[in-house]
Chains A and B, each alone.
Chain A
Amino acid sequence: MTMTTTNDLIATAPARRRFGGGDLAGLAVILLVAVLGYFLFPNNLALLTRIIAAALLVLSLDLVTGYCGVATLGHAALFGAGAYAAGIASAHYGINDPLAMLAFGIVAGAVAGLICGFVILRAHGLPQLVLSIALIHLFHEFANKASSWTGGSDGLSGIAPTALLGLYEFDLWGRTAYVFGVALLAVVFVLLRLIVRSPFGMLCRGIKEDPVRVRSMGASPKIALTKMYVISGAVAGVGGALNAISTQVVGLDSLSFTMSAESLVMLVLGGTGSLFGALTGTVVFMFFEDVVSAANPFHWLTMVGALLIAVVLFAPKGIYGTAAAFVARRKEAQ
């Protein structure tokens, strides 16, 4: 599956450092938007936290699809694994510390990433896509059948996270969950910026462009991609665990094909191969969905469809990708 990416905007910058001014500005924008969200939508923090969890899933998808060129429609398997692991740790084992639940989510996401990577990376192109769809259905069915652990179609309840760091209770308004989510997103963003610019990130970009060339340099594309899948799983696991902790319930929808497909739509909407693209796509899609579905409960899906068609036709690099390309062209012209 070939996609227009915004990698080139990063690739051309001659003086890339470990964490530069642009990164700090990006982090500042994330925090500013988070603060604005907190004050503008004080009664809707649950939605904002849901957006953050989805953003973590889309960032995770961007790592394998945007940066490595792997085609997948089953990425929610990694997110769901994280959500169920965090939920099961609390509901069945009484591990209610949110950071411990988070750790369970990260490990489960990474393991799910390893399993999915092992299967999906055996094929390329359309067969790869089919394998990913098969995997998400298998994960979904497994969670459905193992109802004594997962609650099956009723969902997993009885998740009761204790106060964060022993100080901040998860309140009814969702303030703690929101701040926790923003902090997780900021940490993940910084780590991913470092990773995509590292030698490993460069190797993955090379694999996306030409795996044969990478092999002729003595590097194994399969090992590198599997490693990226594990990292991606850990990131999705963070999102899943955040979802379990903030909503205190885990449903089968967190392991669904629909969620996988929606995350891909959000990524394409924002722009693949760029962390900002993933974040932009998630925020725009989920906000749009929320606003439009409230305004017109009967035709909101039509409007979401129209938005997607408009973006794909008029901004094929995605919203962020197109904007970034425009700015880059302006700079070059000067």
Chain B
Amino acid sequence: MQPIFEVRNLKRAFGGLAVTNDVSLSMAPGDRVALIGPNGAGKTTFVNLVTGNLKPDSGEVRIGGEAVTGVDAIGRVRRGLVRSFQVTRLFADMTPAEHVALAVLQRSGRAGRLFGNFLGMPDVMAEVEELLGKLGLKELMHRKVSEIAYGQQRLLEIAVALALKPRVLLLDEPAAGVPQSDTGRIEQALADLPADLAVLMIEHDMDLVFRFAKRVVVLAAGAIIFDGSPSDVTKDPRVREAYLGSYANASHAA
């Protein structure tokens, strides 16, 4: 199948230190890929390079076959590459309905309209109610975000991303900071993601990785050291070394 998302030989160095070192990755529609790696592996830099928040020294990023390396972050979102944030970035004074409506309006080119209100736009409201309903947030749709629980805010992050109708979704630790009791709802939301959507999830929680991903990519010291099935990842000697190394350092520092 034609890849929907491709990264070719991506390189980026900071002061001589190669933080992303010749990374190549390809995803097809419907792929469920987990990107893992020890702390300092270069995951955040990789995400910033892919989303257009950082320019690579060399290499190429493609969305739907189109090279977007020279396209800024906003342009990449408009081409279907959408991300969620590790720490929720929501508008505290706005409601879940407003968040999703803003995303829907932006996607449909109506966010710049000077008159009218989304509450009076049946198509926008239908989509807002459907998305928030699916994620169990409909009851809270008119509450301020600062008044809803953190787990629900994480779900709203997913709702906003989905409202943009992405082709490639980058989920940055979608369950980070959520109490154990609430992770089930988030896992359900991940399981219910559209089947044709390519999803790249950056995650530390290995249980979640194994339940969600059909493919695992391991990043260490800026390079991909493993790209394969979840069942093989723990057996791979390089992966074990990368993780054990970081554990050894951590215990030494402690």
Contacts and interface: CB of A to CB of B under 8 A. Distances in A.
Contacts of B78: 218
A198 interface: yes
Contact of B116 (A7, A198, A218, A220): A198
A145 interface: no
B119 A17 contact: yes
B191 interface: no
Given A199-B110, A217-B102, A8 B116 contact: no
Overall SS of chain A's interface: helix
B144 A199 contact: no
A216 B73 contact: yes
A14 B142 CA distance: 5
Contacts of B82: 216
A287 interface: no
A42 B84 CA distance: 60
Contact of B92 (A15, A209, A227): A209
B68 to A, nearest CB: 13
B60 interface: no
Interface stretch (A119-127, A171-179, A200-208, A292-300): A200-208
Contacts of A215: 73-74, 77
B89 A12 contact: no
A330 interface: no
B97 to A, nearest CB: 8
Contacts of B89: 210, 212-213, 216
Nearest to A9: B93
Contact of A200 (B74, B114, B119, B164): B114
A11 B107 contact: no
A323 interface: no
B239 to A, nearest CB: 31
Nearest to B91: A209
B112 A227 contact: yes
A15 B117 CA distance: 10
Contacts of A7: 93
Contact of A198 (B90, B115, B143, B160): B115
B94 A206 contact: yes
Interface size class of B (residues with CB under 8 A): 35 or more
Interface size class of A (residues with CB under 8 A): 20 to 34
B118 interface: yes
Contacts of B215: none
A331 interface: no
Interface-centre pick from A14, A202, A215 (highest chain B CB count, 10 A): A202
Contact of B102 (A8, A195, A206): A206
Contacts of A315: none
A329 interface: no
Interface string B131-146: 0000000000011100
A220 B101 CA distance: 17
Contact of A216 (B77, B110, B116, B119): B77
A308 B98 CA distance: 35
B122 interface: no
A217 B112 CA distance: 13
Contacts of A205: 91, 93-94
Given A202-B102, A205-B93, 18 more contacts: A12-B142, A14-B95, A15-B119, A16-B119, A18-B116, A194-B114, A194-B115, A197-B117, A198-B116, A199-B105, A199-B111, A199-B113, A202-B94, A202-B98, A209-B91, A209-B92, A209-B93, A210-B90
25 contacts: A12-B143, A15-B119, A16-B119, A17-B119, A18-B115, A194-B114, A195-B114, A197-B117, A198-B117, A199-B111, A202-B94, A202-B98, A202-B101, A202-B102, A203-B105, A205-B93, A215-B77, A216-B51, A216-B73, A216-B77, A217-B160, A218-B107, A219-B106, A220-B74, A227-B112
Q: Nearest 3 pairs between A and B by C-beta?
A: A14-B142, A218-B77, A209-B91
Interface of A: 5, 7-8, 11-12, 14-18, 194-195, 197-200, 202-203, 205-206, 209-210, 212-213, 215-220, 224, 227, 231
